Structure 1
Amino acid sequence: MKAILKKSDALALLAFCEKHNKDNFFFAKDQGVYFGQTHGSRSENNFENHIVYCDGFNPDINDDWWESASDSFGGDDFGEMLEIDILKKFASDERAKKLVLKITATSLKISFTG
């Protein structure tokens, strides 16, 4: 199983994280499959989020997102926190165009591709 984050999306997510002094971001599979980060609180009316759906897994535009997500990542919902340094390293790699997150039952592996 793998998830891909495009460079432009990673840069926007990094900017959001830096704006709000976040040390991490997340990858999740629940109502779609996505990378993101949140800030603030709904109860204090200052909630913000930055969500980047992986291609084919956006419930707003992909009718079969649930089947695709279950086939690709299993039926259970999950989330993983990732260090912001991953986005910083990706941003500084001029040759890299995509961040690839490979997921197995026991591990996560991150790589950058051209």
Structure 2
Amino acid sequence: MTRTGSLGIGTTNPGTWKLAVNGNIRAKEIKVETGWSDFVFEDSYNLPTLEEVEQHIKEKGHLKDIPSAKEVEENGIFLGEMDAKLLQKIEELMLYTLQQQKEIEILRQKIGELQEKQ
């Protein structure tokens, strides 16, 4: 342990980290305290269209707000931040699914009306 209260395991230089481990870590549980992504469900949230999502994937090769494989390889990730971003994408997927279900119900109704006219 250094005088600054930082601890290095497998390293003598923890840098700016309170705990730096040069090696694998095994734990039964890790609690990460960070912001969360429920803002996706607020009326003010601007859900990208699926066309915008597709365009971003074509241009960048990954989802918006999610780092590329190269970025992760070079910089790693912060688990709490990444969990929040992944939850954001799951919540966006749920909104797309709900939109599509409403469209399916409208189409079923229209098909039923057309079949009744025949």
Tell me whether the two structures share a fold, i.e. TM-score over 0.5. no
Q: Which has the higher helix share?
A: 2
Tell me the TM-score normalized by structure 1. Answer: 0.22
More strand by share: 1
TM (norm. structure 2) is 0.21
Mark the structure with the bigger radius of gyration: 2
Asked which structure has the greater RCO (Cα within 8 Å, sep 6+), the reply is 1
